[in-house]
Chain A
C-alpha cells in the first residue's frame, strides 16, 4: 500500500491551481439522475433487507441468534 499512497501524495503535492477557466453553462440532468438513484436505492434495500430486518430485531431485543438458540434447544 505504501507505493500507491506515495503516488497519490506526489500527485497531490505536485498539483497547481488553474484559475478562472470555466466550461460553458451546464444543463441539468440532476433531477432525472436523482430519481434513478432512488430507484437504485430500492434495489440496494431489496438486497440488504434481511440485514436491515436483523438489525431492527436486534434493536428490539429479538435477534436471530435468539431464535436460532431456541430452535437448537
Chain B
C-alpha cells in the first residue's frame, strides 16, 4: 500500500510537472518575452499542486489494474503531459528551413500523426495488457524530467523581477509645457499596401482611416527601421536606427560592431527622454517588449504585456493562466496547434482590450501628454473581423491573407472607437494624433515592401489633408512630430 502511494504521488507530480515543460523551456532562455513575475511562479506552483493531486488520484486507482479500462484511463491521463513534453522538445530542436517546409507538406503533416494514432489504437485494441504495461514503463521513463521542470521554475522565480505596470504623478519639466497632447497609435504589422489602394487613397472600406487621412498629413514614403518588431520598435524608442537586437534573460542586447551591449532607450536623444525634456507627461502601453522595465526612468505611466504570458493581461490571481500560457507556447504546427490556437486567440483579445483601455484614458488636464500605445493587431493571431472578436478555426493562417484583411478591418473599427473617445471628451481637435506601423505584412499577399509603412499625423488644429512624398525614416519622424507639437502656432 505504501509503495502504491509513493508511486502515485511521484507519477502524479511528474505528470503535472511534465505538462509545464514548454513553460520551463521558455523560462530557461526566453523569460524576457514572458515578463515573468513572482505572481506567475505562485500561480504555476498552485496549478502544479492541483494537477499533481488529480493525476496522483488517477494513478492510485488504475496503476495495479490490468484491465483495458485501466490502460485507457492511464493513457488518457498521460496524453496531455506527454504531448506537452514533446511540444517543448520540438521547440528546442535545431530545425532548418527545409524541415519546416517539409512539415508544411500536407502528406507529411497529416500522415505522421495519423500513423502514430493508428499504432496506438491498434496496440490498445489488439494487445491491451501489453499496451498498459508499456504506458506504465513510458511514464516511469520520462518521470525524472519533472525535476528539470521544477528546478527551472525555482530558478526563474529567484530572478523574476519584471514590472508590468506603474503610474507616477507627472514628472519632468518644472513648468507645464505649451505643447499639444500627442497620442501615437502603433498598430503592429499594419501594411501600407493593405491600407492604401492603388489610387493612392486609403481604401474606401476602411472608413475611419479614410476619414482621418482626409484631414491629416499622409507621409507616403516612410521607411520602417526593420522588418521585425524586435528591431523596429527599439529603433523607434531610441529614435535611431538599431542594426540588430537580441533578447536574453537579462534584457534587450544591441549588436554593435558584432558585440552585444545592453540596449538603452533612455539616452538623452531617445523618444521619451525628448518628450520629457519638452515638458510632456509620458505614458506608454504595449505588448511584446518589456516596456516598463525598458523605460522605467522616463515614463510616468506604463502598462506592459507579454505576447505569450496569459497572466500579463489579467489582474486576478489564476492558476489556470500558466496552463493556458503553456498551451500558447506549444508549436503552432499540427497537431499541437489544435490546442495552442484557442487560448492564443483569447489572449489576443485580452491584449487588445487592455491596450485599448489604456489608449482611452482621459487626457491629463494639468500637463500635455505624450502617449504611445503599441497594439498587437493586425499582427496574428487573426481573431477579429469588422464585427469584433470572431476567431476562425485557424487564426494563425497567414496564406491566403483573409485573416489579416479581416483584422485590418477590425483595426479600422478600433481606431474609430479610440478617436470617438477623444471626440467625446473634447480632446480631438487640440490633440496631435499619429497612426503608424513598425513594419508591414511579412507574409506576401498584396504586400510589396514590408519596410514601407503607413504614417499619418493629424496635428492639433489641422483640418486639411496633406501628402508628403519625400522619403522619411520612421524612427526620426515620430520624434520630429513630438517637437512640432511644441512649436508655437505662429
Contacts and interface: CB of A to CB of B under 8 A. Distances in A.
Given A12-B110, A40-B145, A18 B29 contact: no
Contacts of B61: none
B115 to A, nearest CB: 11
Interface stretch (B165-173, B179-187, B327-335, B481-489): B327-335
A17 B106 contact: yes
A69 interface: no
Contact of B114 (A12, A14, A16, A17): A12
B242 interface: no
Binding site of A, secondary structure by majority: helix, strand, loop or mixed?
helix
A1 B26 CA distance: 37
Interface string A17-60: 11111111111111011001101110110011000000000000
B106 A29 contact: no
B326 to A, nearest CB: 13
Size band of the interface chain A makes with B: 35 or more
Given A26-B25, A29-B92, A41 B141 contact: yes
Interface residues of B, number: 52
Interface stretch (B311-319, B353-361, B395-403, B417-425): B395-403
Given A1-B121, A18-B332, A24-B30, A29 B148 contact: yes
Contact of A19 (B104, B334, B338): B104
Interface in B117-142: 117, 121, 125, 137, 140-142
A32 B121 contact: no
A23 to B, nearest CB: 7
B145 A44 contact: no
Given A12-B110, A18-B332, A27 B25 contact: yes
A43 B142 CA distance: 10
A28 B113 CA distance: 25
Contacts of A23: 91, 308, 329, 331-332
A23 B25 CA distance: 12
Contact of B89 (A15, A30, A39, A44): A30
B334 A15 contact: yes
A68 interface: no
Given A26-B26, A29-B152, A19 B145 contact: no
B63 to A, nearest CB: 12
Contact of A33 (B143, B145, B308, B333): B145
Interface of A: 1, 4-5, 8, 11-30, 32-33, 36-37, 39-41, 43-44, 47-48
29 contacts: A11-B335, A11-B338, A15-B110, A15-B335, A16-B394, A20-B398, A20-B399, A20-B442, A23-B91, A23-B331, A25-B247, A26-B26, A26-B30, A26-B91, A26-B92, A27-B28, A27-B92, A28-B92, A29-B92, A33-B89, A33-B145, A36-B144, A36-B145, A37-B141, A40-B140, A43-B141, A43-B144, A44-B140, A44-B141
